Structure 1
């Protein structure tokens, strides 16, 4: 059964990579309309221009790994989250279309339309992602047949809406720090203010979400009581958050961005520890939960997949590293820019 645990951890790693990399893409989109001129908006879009589509690969890999390793959980999740997932996919599609189409026509109305589309789709995608995470915490109406027995209105409740807003705030903060690293001049000076503003909003939702989770979802801390060592992740998370304003104040945006990355990674690890060994929690009772044992593929399948992952992941990591190395430094507008 060690393979079940390994694949649970690997899914967490893939989700962390997606959250960290596409998180600042969402943040850039959320902040896009705050730019004052067309040139500034082009700079903002081109800061993620060579990267955003590659960052989405991690979401595709995560979905493929979930399907192959835990097919029962995959099937139940897609049927249970059908509406939110379709909304998120539509938002991701519109985000891509907005980036590609914006500069196809030299018209103010045309560009403003796609600017709004880029901002709204990025915000919506981040919000729905948080909404799904919130529902995973409180549980879905899943029966003994591993089928979803709920209605669309059950996705939306105070806690899931709060987590959705929290996800938007996290991405906005992450994106503002990334933008500061990629811009210069007058735009960079204003982005410096955005960093403080988005961090303040993030801190507000972070405190509110933490309190709500501890009070309303006591199951979230069971594993932390069972494994005291897991509290290390909590401490590291708090230290990473505390270092963000310190790094901004000392004008060390690189440290702030690393701290932001560590913050997002810590959130994913905390979520994984709280959920373990469950993949989907049933609101009908814990006996109906889908976990890494009752929803897993055969041990032979998991072992073959592990070999495939060991061969394929290095290529994905190498590609990602090369792309980020090539497009390091400040963003510049050229003939091939968006």
Structure 2
């Protein structure tokens, strides 16, 4: 049963990573509407997201539905704890979609309003996701409800927002190119420094999962990879192209999430957080995992086809 629960958790982790990488990039591009001025660059930024943003959110649906089916106790506890930020997250995603889809059809005056709604909604969505993650981490580690104001979820929200902005800069450097190349490259350096500072603050405030991961060979390996990627990012920001920056940023974000997940997995092995106790019945897990084995490859195939179809610069 423990192996089945671990496989269920790994499936949810994969959905989470895919959402962070794909829709996180879209949210980063949306937030950059506050920094990138001019109708032509903004039009191209919006067109680079239009074919893919709705498909990217499929992974969020799979994550939420999978959590409900595979770990109902975790889903219930998280939703009761986070109903306000989750509501804000859903509202912001709806507003982001409205601004993105209706932008080209709107008058000049309405378009100016939508160009303000899009980055603000994207920022709220990014911050809400990080805030939810930080609140859950604090809740699980303390084994008690979060009381009053806590700086840790706020820092997590800001950290994820800065990470998305870094992804967005890499995306527009790759897909838009010359009109925004220099500005996006300059902003990338600022967001990279901000992201590093916030990550260090988060690790210092809640060191237990990181310390737990460091005790194992896999955790040490992931930590070394993170350091190598940080050095690679410095080189890429100075000399590299947008696509290379995007790849390194995605790899860095993935490795950090895997290191955090590894820390929580080994905490579970030490009975601080029990996956088996929180999991649904064996039959339910088997049904959902078999369904995931069909749905996830199909979703990946669709994403690959769309990215191939709309590859290259946006004109």
Query: Is the pair's TM-score, using the shorter chain for normalization, greater than 0.5?
Result: yes
User: Does structure 2 conserve the Cα–Cα contact (< 8 Å) formed by 1:137 and 1:275?
Assistant: no
Q: Give the CA deviation at 1:140.
A: 6.2
Structure 1's consecutive aligned runs of 4 or more residues displaced over 4 angstroms after TM superposition are 140-143, 148-151
Number of residue pairs aligned between Structure 1 and Structure 2: 313
Q: Is 1:249 aligned with 2:238? A: yes
Q: Is 1:184 aligned with 2:168? A: no
Report the equivalent of 2:300: 317
User: Does structure 1 conserve the Cα–Cα contact (< 8 Å) formed by 2:32 and 2:119?
Assistant: yes
Higher helix share: 2
Q: Deviations over 1:142-199 (max 9, x none)?
A: 98xxxx9666xx3x422221111111111111101110111133x133xx33233233
Q: Deviations over 1:222-278 (max 9, x none)?
A: 422442331111111222232123123223332222111101111211221122267
Q: Structure 1 residues 204-213 or 109-118, which shifts more?
A: 204-213
Question: What is the aligned counterpart of 2:263 among 269, 274, 278?
Answer: 274
Q: Deviations over 1:69-108 (max 9, x none)?
A: 101111111111100100011000100011112222222x
Report SS of the residue matched to 1:293.
helix
Report the equivalent of 2:167: 174
Q: Aligned partners of 1:204, 1:175: CA distance in 2, in Å?
A: 15
Q: Aligned partners of 2:278, 2:267: CA distance in 1, in Å?
A: 10
Q: Aligned partners of 1:298, 1:182: CA distance in 2, in Å?
A: 46
Report the equivalent of 2:227: 238
Q: Aligned partners of 1:32, 1:290: CA distance in 2, in Å?
A: 41
Q: Aligned partners of 1:174, 1:13: CA distance in 2, in Å?
A: 19
Q: Is 1:329 aligned with 2:312? A: yes
What runs of 5+ residues in structure 1 fail to find an aligned partner? 280-285, 333-338
Report SS of the residue matched to 2:276.
coil
Q: Structure 1 residues 226-235 or 82-91, which shifts more?
A: 226-235
TM-score when scaled to structure 2? 0.92
User: Does structure 1 conserve the Cα–Cα contact (< 8 Å) formed by 2:165 and 2:191?
Assistant: no
Q: Aligned partners of 1:236, 1:118: CA distance in 2, in Å?
A: 35
Q: Aligned partners of 2:214, 2:28: CA distance in 1, in Å?
A: 34
Q: Aligned partners of 2:207, 2:267: CA distance in 1, in Å?
A: 15
Question: What is the aligned counterpart of 1:164 among 146, 157, 162?
Answer: 157
User: Does structure 2 conserve the Cα–Cα contact (< 8 Å) formed by 1:73 and 1:295?
Assistant: yes
RMSD over aligned CA atoms reads 2.3
User: Does structure 2 conserve the Cα–Cα contact (< 8 Å) formed by 1:141 and 1:149?
Assistant: no
Report the equivalent of 1:13: 14
Report SS of the residue matched to 2:311.
coil
Q: Give the CA deviation at 1:120.
A: 0.1
Q: Is 1:292 aligned with 2:270? A: no
Report the equivalent of 2:284: 301
Q: Is 1:258 aligned with 2:247? A: yes
Report SS of the residue matched to 1:104.
coil
What runs of 5+ residues in structure 2 fail to find an aligned partner? none
Report SS of the residue matched to 1:103.
coil
User: Does structure 2 conserve the Cα–Cα contact (< 8 Å) formed by 1:88 and 1:129?
Assistant: yes
Q: Aligned partners of 2:141, 2:265: CA distance in 1, in Å?
A: 19
